[in-house]
Amino acid sequence: MEYKLAIIGFGNVGQGFAEILRDHGPRLLEQFGVRYTIVGVSDTLKGSVHDAAGLDPSDLIDAVRLSGNLDGVDVPDRGWDGAEMARLSSADIVIELSYTDLETGEPATGHIRAALEAGKHVVTSNKGPVALHYAELAAMARERGLEIGVEGTVMSGTPTVLTGMHLLRAAGIKRVQGILNGTCNYILTRMEEGSTYEDALDEAQKKGYAEADPAGDVEGFDAAGKVVILANLLMGVPIGMDDVDRTGISGLTPADIAEAREAGERWKLIGTLEPADGGVLASVRPERVPLSHPLASVGGATNAVTYSTELLGDVTLVGPGAGRIETGYSILVDLLEIHRTAPRAGR
């Protein structure tokens, strides 16, 4: 079966996903019987291309690598903005990967509404629309018999959201605790190794972990967005960003790091959801944990989440939390989930 895809936002994740299709397309066809064809890409900086007959992922990746834009890709249709790509493209599934805005959720939310109104499934790793508008978007999708895949919004391709929503829900998730921001964990790890805060942040940006505006990472907004997503999707508690008691890592000094080390402890930015008075208490804050704590050994951009459940006790997932291929993989997982649950979606 063939699925046609339109990608909105062709930064690290979009290109990582295109690389996965370029390098693993034949295996996906053999393993799952699916062919994913990119028909459109729209990016505010790199330009916009559409060809209903399909675009070669190699051409897209090479164009961006060589010239920084998509101008040299030969196509019948070009110049569509994100909303136009969502509406007009010949895609079955729109992949929304524009930049994250955790205050307004735009422009991504508008792109997703446009895609659903046009009868297209949506896959996104963009935290803005999911943290701020998931209930509305999920209802829109449901009314139309469409799917929204959001696996990559938390811990990139490490299977956190679908595992929690489908495989652990019956176990009764009571409490969630995790290291949910790769950039902060990378910075804290590098500072322990002697790097300065500035150098470590610079490295995290170069490695593609950090948000376009890294304040979203270091001030804890990104982790708070993930806590909100997990509360809404896994625990069914409709909290918003303002409900998270949030502190970032920008106030931590080399002296704080050294002091923790001398005490046999380590700083981690920890997101927590725990029951309180019929609702949940949600927080993101730097915490000093003993080296024996299960989260203490999670270093670099690696993330971890512990789901405390009624029937299984603690279940901990550890894996990549950011990165182009790692997040690109989450897109593939959501696409295959659509193939599994909505088998008539392609053609």
- Here's the x/- map for ligand HSE, 232-261, by CB under 6 A: it reads as ------------------------------
Smallest separation (angstroms) from ligand HSE to the CB of 306: 17
Smaller CB distance to ligand HSE: residue 109 or 156? 156
With binding defined as CB under 6 A, does residue 147 bind ligand HSE?
no
Residues 314-343 that bind ligand HSE (CB under 6 A): 321-322
Interacting span for ligand HSE (CB under 6 A) from 72-80, 208-216, 231-239, 280-288: 208-216
Residues 103, 262: Cα–Cα separation, whole Å: 39
**What would the two tokens of residue 168 be?**
């652990």
With binding defined as CB under 6 A, does residue 283 bind ligand HSE?
no
Smallest separation (angstroms) from ligand HSE to the CB of 215: 11
Smaller CB distance to ligand HSE: residue 48 or 100? 100
Smallest separation (angstroms) from ligand HSE to the CB of 74: 33
With binding defined as CB under 6 A, does residue 218 bind ligand HSE?
no
For residue 182, CA distances in Å to 26, 114, 130, 132 come to 31, 31, 19, 21
Residue among 119, 112, 152 nearest 134 (CA) = 112
With binding defined as CB under 6 A, does residue 183 bind ligand HSE?
yes
With binding defined as CB under 6 A, does residue 221 bind ligand HSE?
no
Smallest separation (angstroms) from ligand HSE to the CB of 250: 14
Smaller CB distance to ligand HSE: residue 181 or 283? 181
Q: What would you report as the CA-atom Rg of the chain, rounded to the nearest whole angstrom?
A: 20
Smaller CB distance to ligand HSE: residue 116 or 269? 269
- Catalytic positions: 226
Smaller CB distance to ligand HSE: residue 177 or 183? 183
With binding defined as CB under 6 A, does residue 181 bind ligand HSE?
yes
Smaller CB distance to ligand HSE: residue 90 or 316? 316
Residues 183, 103: Cα–Cα separation, whole Å: 20
Interacting span for ligand HSE (CB under 6 A) from 45-53, 74-82, 103-111, 205-213: 205-213
Interacting span for ligand HSE (CB under 6 A) from 104-112, 158-166, 180-188, 255-263: 180-188
Smallest separation (angstroms) from ligand HSE to the CB of 314: 22
With binding defined as CB under 6 A, does residue 92 bind ligand HSE?
no
Binding site for ligand HSE (CB under 6 A): 156, 181-183, 209-211, 217, 222, 321-322
